[in-house]
Amino acid sequence: MQSTDRSRVRSDALVVFGVTGDLVHKMVFPALYRMVKKGVLDVPVIGVASSPWTREELQRHASDSVQKCGAADDPAALARFLGLLEYVSGDYQDPETFRALGKALEKVSRPAFYLAIPPALFETVIRGLGEAGLSRQARVIVEKPFGRDLASARKLNDTAHSVFPEESIFRIDHYLGKEAIMNILYFRFANSFLEPVWNRNYVDSVQITLAENFGVKERGSFYESAGCLRDVVQNHLFQIVALLAMDPPAYQGYDAVHDEKAKVFRAMRPLNAKDLVRGQYAGYRSEHGVAQDSDVETFCALRLFIDSWRWKDVSWYLRSGKNLPVSASEVLVELKPPPQRLFDDSDPPPGEGRANYLRFRLSPNSAVALAARIKSPGKEFVGEQRELFLQNEQQGEEGPYERLLTGALSGNRSLFSREDAVEAAWSVVDPVLYDHNPARPYDIGSWGPKEADSLMGPDDRWHNPSPE
């Protein structure tokens, strides 16, 4: 699918704010190295951060990152990548930092500024770029979370628009660059068999689980300002909902996809406290950077409705949590049973889910499975539950950061979130960000607090993805 964006001019430098941080070390450097190796990155990469490092220290840090993630398989490409690095050190509040950056960009006319920094600093840096006159013909790439509620997202959008036009703003949600998630869009609209049943007449419920079998690790203080709802639901899970729920794009172009996704967010019914169960794993309050009386949720489960012609009254169940039994994410689209029961066993035994469903396995591996009942050999009309399983994986596939940064540098906005969609998504969660029930404790390695079951309709139950 092509972008209709006509301003597809390549950026001639990448400036990474927060270059000494964790995100850059874990995800961004390996992605940049792979881009150099493929020949899609050959422009200066200028790191900015407050640490008084030298260029050599940054190069050592970047080299360590690439080695640690096991990607350093091409010494010549690694040398080329390290050769592109430059470093500017300074405080983001200090105009001098932006003057020094301006000097480093003297030979550059179309830089891309990537803000891999704490969200509280986004506006400071955007303003600093504007005031230093560095935003002309430039792009800005903003990490998530984009705002922490509707009001702050609007304010951030206003600040960003006072410096950059919307077509130069690239809001990252790395889930949009994942192969398995891009496949939802492709699978839905490259096939014709799905569309007739993809609506309230045939779909009973949809559920999405994003489970992680680890805690907040060293990100306690970030997590305290976010919580599960802001960290992964309002963005990652909602993006998956939008791809599953959207109407067919009206034409071949990503603007059409963005339009349809924004309509889904607008049709979502704003959440109510009784639609949400929040949980906190045992021991969270002892994590580094976490308040001893913290009520921040490390788990959330919610029931969502999309008040559109297509989805009226269909329940969408979303769930995510840290320290659950497995690390895996899946979507389960459960279809209604046949209208008449012609075989005694045509429904699976109680508590075993539905006979017909479509399952999208999103991580750690990618697959699509269609479940059906099939007659067992013999003269009786009895059957069993089977899955038609389509594996969709390739070794060494392009990672989300590589895909997104390559897109942003060439002005391709397909995989980035648009202003109206981000704000509409915040409008859905806004009512429960502050007005909610206390977080319920749950044991590490469990599927979260048992109260999450109470969100389910009488015939529904949570589907727990398997580890493999």
Please identify, using beta-carbon distances, which residue of 239 and 363 lies nearer to ligand BG6. Answer: 363
Please identify, using beta-carbon distances, which residue of 212 and 334 lies nearer to ligand BG6. Answer: 212
Q: Does 294 bind ligand BG6 (CB under 6 A)?
A: no
Number of residues that bind ligand BG6 (CB under 6 A): 4
Please identify, using beta-carbon distances, which residue of 204 and 231 lies nearer to ligand BG6. Answer: 231
Region 226-265 residues binding ligand BG6, contact defined as CB under 6 A: 231-232
Q: Measured at CB, which residue is nearest to ligand BG6? A: 231
- We find the least distance from the C-beta atom of residue 16 to ligand BG6, in angstroms, to be 18
- We find the least distance from the C-beta atom of residue 231 to ligand BG6, in angstroms, to be 5
Handedness of CA 366, 370, 371, 375 (dihedral sign): negative
For residue 17, the surrounding DSSP H or E stretch is strand 13-17
Q: Does 320 bind ligand BG6 (CB under 6 A)?
A: no
- We find the least distance from the C-beta atom of residue 29 to ligand BG6, in angstroms, to be 17
What secondary structure does DSSP assign to 283-335, as a single string?
TGGGSTT--TT----SEEEEEE-B-STTTTT-EEEEEEESS-S--EEEEEEEE
Residues 6+ apart with CB under 8 A from 79: none
Residues 6+ apart with CB under 8 A from 62: 29, 33, 81, 82, 85
- What DSSP character marks residue 196? G
Please identify, using beta-carbon distances, which residue of 207 and 323 lies nearer to ligand BG6. Answer: 323
Q: d(Cα 357, Cα 143) in Å, to the nearest integer? A: 35
Q: Which of 461, 256, 450 is nearest to 351 (CA)?
A: 461
What secondary structure does DSSP assign to 366-417, as a single string?
-EEEEEEEEEPSSSS--EEEEEEEEE---TTPPPHHHHHHHHHHTT--TTSB
Q: Does 143 bind ligand BG6 (CB under 6 A)?
A: no
Per the residue annotation, which of 174, 236, 436, 463 is the catalytic one? 236
**Selected binder of ligand BG6 within 17, 33, 72, 212 (CB under 6 A):** 212
Region 358-377 residues binding ligand BG6, contact defined as CB under 6 A: 363
236 is catalytic: yes
- We find the least distance from the C-beta atom of residue 363 to ligand BG6, in angstroms, to be 6
Please identify, using beta-carbon distances, which residue of 335 and 421 lies nearer to ligand BG6. Answer: 421
Q: Does 297 bind ligand BG6 (CB under 6 A)?
A: no
- We find the least distance from the C-beta atom of residue 282 to ligand BG6, in angstroms, to be 19
Catalytic residues: 236
Binding site for ligand BG6 (CB under 6 A): 212, 231-232, 363
